[in-house]
């Protein structure tokens, strides 16, 4: 909507200062013409954004399905090299079209929309200057875990199951493309480290050696809603899926598996850092800037991490002192890792503890929030096939007809301490990812892309910031739970050091693991899985601590400058009300809110 006061105040002053009626009429015409031009720019810009969104759904048909848009329900995105080049050309063209708009002629809301759209496109173009398609092997997800996509879709008719079967037919080509891409990567020197490849090989092996009745790609059809089809139709669907798995999916996976095991693994990198691939250091600098939404260099980020380790370590040592522990820091960490009192001996009890914790937190949140998401959330286990290779927990956002889910890792419960449960739940569920992502998706009067935009530093920064909020709702009254929260804060500080260390400073995997062991009570299994994740996913781990520090900095400023006018509920509302933002824009809007609050 046009903001007359903001956009036309200088012209109104000019009109009022005019002496004659003729001049007044002329100046009023100028104002009318300028207003029309601005309205035209806004209208055209909003149309451009709508078209971009629609094109994006065509290019990401599974995302469209998750939103409830079934126009492309039989399609999947191609992972071919040719498609990557097409996508890059389209992104460059969209950026040029966007930059034809004059941002000064847009209303205030569209100025923000322009900045966010431009930053997203610039980020995409910068990252697409590097051949990521040659390095997509990832033990945390990828070509070997496409079946999880089917598990997350919503099925409301028999046709939805037919559409998923059609997609699986197309997916066979993507498995073959993966083989082609990785052959090319091997040829050009763009390979993943051996430890990543070994994880992917093990996961593919588990798929192709699965009994057909328990095959992960059959699960959707075996669990199909029988109210949507007859018994005979469901049997037919299952039989056709079995034929596809046996004749197409498994053979394609077998070809990829054999290539990775017999050719790729032996000649791929022994090193772990992305700096060891062509132009890798520059690539990492781009990834660092992208994930943190800052211009911080890897060296600066490394130093921030070292400073945070020192600060958090002092807080941890104070807790140990308050507990009158008869030993040093390392002996206390060893006690936390090994004492049976801190662990469940079966996955069922561990899972129930997560459920109870989530329901304990829910009624405490009105103390610090005044706006709540409408979407529900649930807690479910990480799939058994991927649990040994992935992290302690993660979150998947709600989609049409489906709640958000906090996924908890139940593999080897004897390695997953009880004091992690509160801090993990506030990060992954409420008020962490579920609050931030759901509130963004429920925004009104914004272009659709804003509801789903993802700046890692904002999203993961909020998740880590939420861990500290456990103090504000009395979640860490037990000193061991508080130590668990500090362990997770330390974990993210160490990430800054080990991620930059491995990818930019020639650190070894053991260097990274040892820094964790020396400073956290996390189990060896968790530490190894985390370090391997950073190796496979350069730069992403930097976002958490950088984002958290900025939010804490802004909260501290608001508390100091607003004094008695400060209310943490208002601060949280201001942080979340626009959806995901780069950190510089978040700072701009919080500063604006502080100034407005002081003068109001």
> What is the tens place of the pLDDT at every residue in 313-347?
999 999 999 999 999 999 999 999 999 999 999 99
> What is the tens place of the pLDDT at every residue in 231-262?
999 999 999 999 999 999 999 999 999 999 99
> What is the tens place of the pLDDT at every residue in 518-569?
999 888 888 998 999 999 999 999 999 999 999 999 999 999 999 999 999 9
Beta strands in 374-519, from DSSP E residues, in sequence order: 377-381, 393-396, 404-408
Give the residue carrying structure tokens 């009022």: 16
Retrieve residue 575's tokens: 């942080």
Q: What percent of the chain has pLDDT over 70?
A: 94
- 26 pLDDT higher than 70: no
pLDDT on residue 521: 86
Q: Give the model's confidence band at 399: pLDDT under 50 very low, under 70 low, under 90 confident, else very high.
A: confident
3-state SS of 119-144? Answer: HHHHHHHHHCCCCHHHCCCCCCCCHH
pLDDT on residue 3: 36
Q: Give the model's confidence band at 23: pLDDT under 50 very low, under 70 low, under 90 confident, else very high.
A: low
Strands of the sheet with 377-381, listed across from one edge: 377-381, 404-408, 393-396
Retrieve residue 567's tokens: 């209310």
pLDDT on residue 525: 85
pLDDT on residue 524: 86
Give the residue carrying structure tokens 């126009």: 71
pLDDT on residue 526: 84
pLDDT on residue 33: 53
Q: Give the model's confidence band at 27: pLDDT under 50 very low, under 70 low, under 90 confident, else very high.
A: low
Of 6 and 346, the one with more pLDDT? 346
pLDDT on residue 402: 87
In this prediction the pTM is 0.90
- Kindly tell me the burial class for residue 152, based on how many C-beta atoms sit within 10 Å of its own C-beta (0-12, 13-18, 19 or more): middle
- Kindly tell me the burial class for residue 493, based on how many C-beta atoms sit within 10 Å of its own C-beta (0-12, 13-18, 19 or more): buried
Q: Cα 133 vs. chain centroid, distance in angstroms?
A: 19
- 380 pLDDT higher than 70: yes
Of 389 and 500, the one with more pLDDT? 500
pLDDT on residue 25: 55
pLDDT on residue 34: 55
Report d(CA 419, CA 361) in Å as an integer: 15
Q: Give the model's confidence band at 400: pLDDT under 50 very low, under 70 low, under 90 confident, else very high.
A: confident
Of 388 and 173, the one with more pLDDT? 173
- 8 pLDDT higher than 80: no
Mean pLDDT of the chain: 93
pLDDT on residue 58: 97
Report d(CA 55, CA 43) in Å as an integer: 18
Per-position DSSP letters for 144-202, written without gaps between them: GGTHHHHHHS---SHHHHHHHHHHHHHHHHHHHHHHHHHHHHHHHT---BHHHHHHHHH
- 4 pLDDT higher than 70: no
* Beta carbons of 173 and 251 less than 8 angstroms apart: no
Q: What percent of the chain has pLDDT over 90?
A: 89
The residue-averaged pLDDT of 361-376 equals: 97
């Amino acid at each position: 909507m046009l903001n007359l006061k903001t956009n036309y105040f200088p012209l109104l002053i000019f009109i009022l200062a005019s002496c004659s009626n003729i001049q007044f009429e002329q100046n009023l015409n100028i104002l009318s013409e300028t207003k029309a031009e601005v309205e035209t720019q806004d209208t055209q810009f909003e149309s451009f954004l709508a078209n971009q969104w629609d094109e994006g759904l065509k290019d990401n048909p599974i995302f469209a399905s998750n939103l409830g848009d079934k126009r492309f329900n039989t399609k999947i995105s191609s992972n071919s090299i040719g498609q990557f080049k097409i996508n890059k050309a389209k992104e460059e063209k969209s950026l040029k079209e966007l930059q034809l708009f004059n941002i000064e002629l847009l209303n205030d809301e569209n100025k923000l929309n322009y900045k966010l759209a431009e930053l997203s496109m610039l980020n995409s173009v910068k990252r697409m200057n590097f051949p990521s398609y040659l390095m997509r092997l990832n033990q945390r997800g990828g070509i070997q875990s496409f079946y999880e996509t089917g598990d997350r879709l919503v099925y409301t008719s028999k046709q939805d199951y037919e559409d998923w079967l059609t997609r699986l037919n197309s997916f066979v080509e993507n498995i073959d493309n993966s083989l082609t891409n990785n052959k090319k990567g091997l040829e050009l020197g763009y390979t993943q480290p051996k430890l990543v490849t070994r994880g992917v090989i093990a996961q593919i092996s588990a798929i192709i050696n699965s009994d057909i009745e328990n095959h992960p790609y059959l699960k959707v059809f075996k669990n199909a809603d029988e109210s949507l089809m007859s018994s005979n139709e469901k049997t037919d669907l299952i039989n056709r899926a079995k034929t596809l798995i046996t004749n197409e999916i498994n053979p394609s996976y077998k070809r990829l598996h054999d290539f990775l095991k017999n050719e790729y693994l032996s000649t791929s990198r022994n090193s772990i850092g992305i700096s060891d691939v062509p132009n890798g250091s520059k690539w990492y600098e781009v990834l660092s800037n992208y994930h943190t939404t800052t211009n911080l260099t890897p060296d600066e980020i490394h130093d921030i991490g070292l400073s945070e380790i020192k600060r958090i370590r002092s807080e941890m040592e104070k807790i140990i002192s308050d507990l009158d522990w008869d030993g040093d820091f390392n002996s206390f960490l060893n006690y936390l890792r090994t004492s049976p009192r801190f662990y469940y001996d079966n996955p069922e009890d561990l899972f129930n503890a997560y459920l109870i914790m989530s329901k304990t937190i829910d009624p405490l949140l009105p103390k610090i929030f005044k706006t709540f998401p409408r979407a529900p959330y649930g807690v479910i286990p990480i799939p058994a096939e991927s649990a040994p290779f992935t992290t302690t927990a993660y979150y998947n956002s709600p989609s049409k007809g489906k709640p958000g889910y906090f996924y908890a890792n139940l593999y080897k419960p004897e390695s997953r301490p009880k004091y992690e449960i509160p801090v993990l739940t506030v990060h992954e569920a409420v008020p962490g990812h579920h609050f931030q992502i759901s509130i963004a998706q429920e925004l009104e009067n914004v272009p659709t892309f804003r509801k789903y935009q993802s700046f890692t530093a904002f999203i993961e920064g909020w998740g880590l910031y939420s861990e500290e909020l456990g103090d504000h709702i009395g979640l860490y009254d037990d000193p061991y739970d508080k130590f668990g929260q500090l362990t997770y804060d330390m974990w993210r500080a160490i990430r800054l050091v080990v991620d930059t260390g491995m990818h930019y400073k020639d650190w070894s995997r053991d260097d990274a693991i040892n820094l964790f062991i020396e400073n956290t009570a996390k189990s060896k299994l968790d530490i190894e899985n985390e370090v391997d994740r950073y190796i496979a996913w350069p730069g992403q781990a930097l976002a958490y601590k950088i984002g958290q520090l900025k939010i804490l900095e802004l909260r501290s400023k608001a508390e100091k400058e607003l004094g008695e006018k400060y209310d943490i509920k208002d601060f949280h509302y201001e942080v979340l009300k626009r959806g995901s933002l780069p950190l510089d824009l978040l700072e701009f809007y919080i500063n604006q809110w502080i100034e407005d609050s002081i003068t109001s």
